[in-house]
Amino acid sequence: MKNYSPPIQDRTLDELMTIVYSQEGDWQDDAKIQAKTELEKRGIEQEKQSELLEKNRQRQLKLQKSYEEQLERNAIIPYSRSDMLIIFLKAPFIIVGRWSYQLSIPELRRENFQIKTRQRLILLITGTLFWILFIYGSYKWSEYNRLQEIENADISDWEENRIIDE
């Protein structure tokens, strides 16, 4: 018999039941045999095992139903104004992966956040465009100011020193 870590005999009742009633390929046959033997040693009869399986199945159904209800609720949850401002201002950094903030678009879709997915996409696009236009505008403004400074510079002294008399 093969040894497992933790040993089969040290596992909880739920873990033993999981091993014994797992799908084909989830556990080795040797582990299943050891788990069945351990259940027999603990006095857990087939009837009790069936009862425990049914309780576990009911618990799983409740969890699944709860998860599905949460997914339905997620569909209508929007971002707060402060979250939207943060995403908008940090959009280029979020897009290039230098910054992460809350869930990404694939994660939002997986969790059925329909409104948040749409908002995040719009905020990332508009935020990135804002920064591109801001940087471009700042460059153009500084270039305009530089050219104005050149145009308005007094070069009369320079000209006087450069004029050659014939």
**Taking the domains of the chain in order of start, what are their residue ranges?**
8-74, 81-155
Q: What is the pLDDT of residues 126-163, one digit of tens each?
A: 999 999 999 999 999 999 999 999 898 888 777 777 76
Q: Which two tokens stand for residue 144?
A: 């305009």
Q: How many CA atoms lie within 13 A of 5 on its CB side?
A: 0
Local confidence band at 75 (pLDDT 50, 70, 90 cut-offs):
very high
Residue 163, pLDDT score: 65
3-state secondary structure of 80: coil
The answer to whether the CB of 87 falls within 8 A of the CB of 79 is yes
Region of 51 (left: φ > 0; alpha: ψ -120 to 50; beta: rest) is alpha
Region of 4 (left: φ > 0; alpha: ψ -120 to 50; beta: rest) is beta
Radius of gyration over every alpha carbon of the chain, rounded to an integer in angstroms: 34
Structure-token match 């700042």, residue found: 138
Q: In whole angstroms, how far apart are CA 15 and each of 4, 35, 56, 63? A: 13, 9, 12, 18
Structure-token match 């402060």, residue found: 82
Local confidence band at 27 (pLDDT 50, 70, 90 cut-offs):
confident
pTM exceeding 0.75: no
Local confidence band at 164 (pLDDT 50, 70, 90 cut-offs):
low
Q: What is the pLDDT of residues 98-134, one digit of tens each?
A: 999 999 999 999 999 999 999 999 999 999 999 999 9
Q: What percent of the chain has pLDDT over 90?
A: 54
Residues 73-85, mean pLDDT to the nearest whole number: 97
